[in-house]
């Protein structure tokens, strides 16, 4: 049984006449009659009572008509859905974003505006937004579990495209009563044996590399004593007096913490919109059009 058989059957049932149905289908009558007989043989029931007046549905034919119409409607819905998906009008877009504590208030506001604009233009596309650090976003890209991400710009990540969003300095966060909080100027050598609170090595994605390198070259390597899985926990541990840390300067002041400028020589953090080169999703293309760098 094929969809065309159902189209033929519904046409005959609605016209109640093989000749008129054939004209409607732009067929000659003999092939149409042959197709209906083939359908009846496959179903092993009679669908029509044929007479000189036309064709009347049998009891079996009336039951089959309801199902045939439902199948054809479902097939048309599937076709329309496929066409809409090809234009990026339906589907799911998987988005990764950094935790709010890492992003500036300007960036979070900008993300909200672009998400709203995308929803307004493409209301049938579902946004699946996941709060993830850069390292986890990169892992999901590798496993084809993410379509687009907002992250600290990855360096040397093959197969990814990126679009710059904003940059901001890295600051030193110390407990408010720490001696660094009162020191007029901090040097790289001053970090020698100072306790640090850091993101876990499995998720930090080189965030501390430049800092530790500068400290080591100056003979001021700090003591890495505590790890956490997100910046909120890191900041809580610093406020508790367990060490100092690096934090993106997003101008968010936290109780119990003093922010200090680091010595010169540390490049700023770059936030970027990132996606996989091989991802040809029309929904992704529409999202990128909405999310410009302007």
Q: Which domain holds residue 251?
A: 170-267
Does position 293 have pLDDT exceeding 50, yes or no? no
Q: Directed axis angle between helix 105-121 and helix 282-290, to 10°? A: 130
Summarised one tens digit per residue, pLDDT across range 90-125 is 889 999 998 766 677 778 888 888 899 999 999 989
Which tens digits make up the pLDDT trace of 2-30? Answer: 899 999 999 999 999 999 999 999 999 99
Residues ≥6 apart with Cβ < 8 Å to 39: 1, 5, 8, 9, 47
- Same domain for 76 and 103, yes or no, is no
Q: Within a domain: residue 157?
A: no
Residue 259, classed as helix, strand or coil, is strand
* Same-domain check for residues 179 and 262: yes
DSSP string, 4-20: HHHHHHHHHHHHTSHHH
In a shared domain, residues 217 and 254:
yes
How many CA atoms, within 13 angstroms, populate the side-chain half-sphere of residue 180?
27
* Of residues 272 and 196, more confidently modeled: 196
In a domain, 201, yes or no: yes
Q: How far apart are CA 3 and CA 164, in angstroms?
A: 50
> How high does pLDDT run on average in the chain?
88
Higher pLDDT, 202 or 149: 149
| Cα distance between residue 163 and residue 289, in whole Å | 12
Containing H/E element for 66? helix 59-86
Is the pLDDT at 225 greater than 90? The verdict is: no
Q: Which two tokens stand for residue 51?
A: 């007479």
Query: Are 175 and 261 members of one domain?
Result: yes
In 3D, which of 100, 271, 102, 134 has the Cα closest to residue 206?
Answer: 134
96 and 60 within one domain? no
Last residue of a domain, one of 33, 61, 86: 86
Residue 155 has pLDDT above 70, yes or no: no
The two tokens of residue 151 are 């992250």
Q: Is residue 155 part of a domain?
A: no
Residue 50 belongs to a domain with what CATH number? 1.10.10.10
- Is the residue at 153 inside a domain? no
Q: Does one domain contain both 82 and 95?
A: no
- Residue 113 domain-assigned (yes or no): yes
- Give the tens place of pLDDT for each residue, 30-56: 999 999 999 999 999 999 999 888 899
User: What is the spatial distance between Cα 36 and Cα 34, in angstroms, rounded to a whole number?
Assistant: 5
Please tell me the total count of domains within the chain: 3
Does one domain contain both 197 and 284?
A: no
């Amino acid at each position: 049984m094929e969809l065309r058989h159902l189209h033929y059957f519904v046409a005959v049932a609605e016209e109640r006449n093989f000749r008129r149905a054939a004209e409607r289908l732009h067929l000659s009558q003999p092939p149409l009659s042959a197709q209906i007989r083939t359908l009846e043989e496959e179903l092993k029931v009679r669908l029509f009572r044929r007479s000189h007046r036309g064709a009347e549905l049998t009891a079996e034919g009336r039951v089959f008509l309801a199902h045939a119409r439902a199948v054809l409607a479902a097939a048309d819905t599937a076709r329309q859905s496929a066409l809409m998906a090809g234009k990026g009008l339906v589907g799911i877009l998987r988005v990764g974003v950094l935790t709010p504590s890492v992003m500036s208030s300007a960036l979070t506001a900008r993300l909200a505006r672009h998400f709203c604009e995308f929803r307004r233009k493409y209301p049938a596309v579902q946004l699946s937004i996941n709060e993830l650090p850069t390292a986890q976003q990169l892992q999901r890209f590798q496993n084809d579990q993410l379509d687009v991400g907002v992250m600290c710009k990855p360096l040397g990540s093959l197969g990814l495209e990126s679009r710059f969003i904003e940059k901001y300095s890295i600051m030193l966060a110390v407990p408010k009563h720490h001696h660094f909080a009162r020191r007029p100027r901090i040097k790289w050598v001053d970090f020698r044996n100072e306790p640090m609170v850091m993101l876990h090595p499995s998720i930090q994605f080189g965030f501390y590399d430049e800092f530790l390198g500068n400290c080591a070259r100056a003979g001021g390597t700090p003591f890495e004593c505590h790890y956490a899985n997100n910046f909120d926990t890191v900041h809580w541990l610093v406020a508790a007096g367990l060490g100092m840390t690096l934090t993106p300067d997003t101008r968010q002041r936290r109780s119990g913490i003093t922010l200090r400028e680091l010595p010169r020589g540390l490049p700023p953090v770059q936030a970027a919109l990132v996606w996989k080169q091989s991802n040809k999703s029309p929904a992704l293309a529409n999202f990128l059009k909405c999310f410009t760098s302007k």
